[in-house]
Amino acid sequence: MKVRKHINDLYEDLRDGHNLISLLEVLSGIKLPREKGRMRFHRLQNVQIALDFLKQRQVKLVNIRNDDITDGNPKLTLGLIWTIILHFQISDIYISGESGDMSAKEKLLLWTQKVTAGYTGIKCTNFSSCWSDGKMFNALIHRYRPDLVDMERVQIQSNRENLEQAFEVAERLGVTRLLDAEDVDVPSPDEKSVITYVSSIYDAFPKVPEGGEGISATEVDSRWQEYQSRVDSLIPWIKQHTILMSDKSFPQNPVELKALYNQYIHFKETEILAKEREKGRIEELYKLLEVWIEFGRIKLPQGYHPNDVEEEWGKLIIEMLEREKSLRPAVERLELLLQIANKIQNGALNCEEKLTLAKNTLQADAAHLESGQPVQCESDVIMYIQECEGLIRQLQVDLQILRDENYYQLEELAFRVMRLQDELVTLRLECTNLYRKGHFTSLELAPPSTLTTTHLKAEPLTKGTHSSSTSWFRKPMTRAELVSISSSEDEGNLRFVYELLSWVEEMQVGVCSKCLSSAFRFTGSSSSSKGARLLYAPCVNSLNY
């Protein structure tokens, strides 16, 4: 609350009570009633309003009546003003370690003693003679602003120089100059004047508020060093990890990527929380130091404000979120690809086992064939081959997924699948070759009653040669028949080619040579030529097939 009032004569200007009420309104912030008249009755009433207000605030008024102030009694008027000063300016002093029954004067003296403790040759026991040399005033200021007062110089200066220096510096710090150097440079300065001025210094300087949420002048330097140290440590750490979090290039190895993700989770759940507590401590220290920064005791360098720390912290958090946004899908993707790769490995192992079974079964049939027995396990071998073909088809599908995703172990897996394909092709050829021979052997061993009409019987040329010239000519298996017993059309075609080649070879080497040798025994006559054609007819018919 502000009022436009001017006091020129303290004794005269307070007599009507208006200025006294205005003073109390400014000090308390409370609006008080007043009489607007100018008669003595109105003046007495206004002064009484002011005195009653002070009594309500528990201010002790000893022998001060309204007529004393209205009549301009100098002694009682000064006493009233001093009482107001004690209540509104000095009674609010809070000193840690004070007892509950201490007066405002005793509290102010205790504060002065604590602030000036440790200064050589300075001891405060009163508010009079201890202040006459000016050293006490300079010590108070030096404790709060050591940059403004040179205490070594104070020790060698005169009383008047010390007092002038203290009053000038205090005025720059916002303390109204209530004293003159010549009034204090006496053996016993006025106690009330010194108390009033010292209380003004107390109000202008930073202080530990009631409840202890603050730091005293003696703690400022140590707390400021702690603050600087923490900021100097935290900000470079934040910047370093901001750069680290901005790196979005991740390894393709699942083990390395998983380790990177676990490292990020540990950073997020452990390190970042510890540094967040560190940031909180910096903010707490700043709140303690803020009043000293505003007072000018501390010069805060650029980049050391908690807002600067918070700005860098925000950048780190953003990069962390972006990294997690990229890292988590990469881990999930690679885990899925790893599952597919494991599926390929398991499928390949299963296929290898099937191929081994097929080879062993094929070898068993080969042994049967060599011993003159018919093959017995062709259907089992075909079943194994078909199962392997199905497995390899699925392996190819899964392999293509890894190929599209550029999986880091693609070449190793592709080589294994290719090797399985090669083994399967080799097994097919061995199977075709073995069971082609098996079919021919079965036909030779079959009795005549089991042969179809497609197997032609040669007619005897003469009675004497009937038993010796009897032979059986097999007809090659058709392509459709071979495809039906094969695992795929390509394998059936391959078997058909081998069957035809084998049949032609057999016909040329075996059957045809016998027919031709018999035919050309009859030479020189038309009947002989006719007989030769008849004997060769079965070969021609078979070749035409």
Of 89, 294, 347, 113, nearest to 286 (Cα)? 294
Q: Which of 411, 427, 448 is the last residue in one of the domains?
A: 448
* Residue where one domain finishes, among candidates 204, 227, 243: 204
On whether both 252 and 288 belong to a single domain, the answer is yes
What torsion do the CA atoms of 20, 26, 29, 33 make, to the nearest 10 degrees?
Answer: 30
User: Mean pLDDT for each consecutive 10-residue tract of the chain (545 residues)?
Assistant: 72 87 87 87 90 87 86 88 79 65 84 89 92 94 91 94 95 90 93 90 75 71 94 96 89 80 89 94 92 87 94 94 85 84 93 92 87 84 90 92 86 92 89 69 38 35 36 52 56 64 59 44 42 40 39
What residues contact 444, with CB distance under 8 A and at least 6 apart?
472, 474
Is the same domain home to 290 and 323?
A: yes
How far is the C-alpha of 74 from the C-alpha of 68, rounded, in Å? 9
Residues 199 and 138 placed together within one structural domain of the fold: yes
pLDDT attached to residue 541: 40
Does a structural domain hold residue 96?
no
Return the pLDDT at 68. 87
- Other residues' Cβ atoms within 10 Å of the Cβ of residue 177: 11
φ/ψ (deg, to 5) at 206: -60, 150
Question: Which tokens belong to 252?
Answer: 């393709």
Say if residue 307 is in the same domain as residue 358.
no
Q: Determine, yes or no, domain membership for 136.
A: yes
pLDDT given for residue 490 in this prediction: 61
**Domain harbouring 354, CATH code:** 1.20.58.60
- For residues 458 and 469, the answer to whether their CB atoms sit within 8 Å is yes
Is there a contact between 498 and 432 (Cβ–Cβ < 8 Å)?
A: yes
Q: Looking at the structure, do residues 235 and 306 belong to the same domain, yes or no? A: yes
Vertex 392 angle, CA 391 and 394, to 5°: 65
Whether 157 and 200 share a structural domain = yes
Q: Are residues 71 and 15 both part of a single domain?
A: yes
496 shares a domain with 466: yes
In a domain, 409, yes or no: yes
For residues 343 and 337, give the distance between their C-alpha atoms in angstroms, rounded to a whole number: 10
Identify the domain boundary among 333, 362, 396.
Answer: 333
Confirm if 218 and 103 have CB atoms less than 8 A apart: no
Kindly state whether residue 98 falls inside one of the protein's structural domains.
Answer: no
3-state SS assignment for residue 457: strand
What total number of domains does the chain contain? 5
* Distance, CA of 13 to CA of 47 (rounded, Å): 12
Residue 466 lies in a domain: yes
DSSP state of 218: G
Residues 17 and 43: beta-carbon distance below 8 Å = yes
Domain range for 131 is 106-204
Q: Which amino acid is at 458?
A: A
Task: Report yes or no on 211 lying in a domain.
Answer: no
Q: Are residues 138 and 79 in the same domain?
A: no
Same domain, 457 and 477: yes
pLDDT at 305: 95
Q: Are residues 365 and 443 in the same domain?
A: yes
Same domain, 384 and 428: yes
- Give the up-direction half-sphere exposure of residue 200: CA atoms within 13 A in the CB hemisphere: 18
- What DSSP designation does 478 have? P
CATH number reported for the structural domain that contains residue 119 in this entry: 1.10.418.10
Residue 527, domain member (yes or no): yes
The Cα 394–Cα 526 span in angstroms is 68
Does any domain span residue 413? yes
In this prediction, residue 344 carries a pLDDT of 92
Predicted pLDDT of residue 99: 63
- pTM confidence score: 0.55
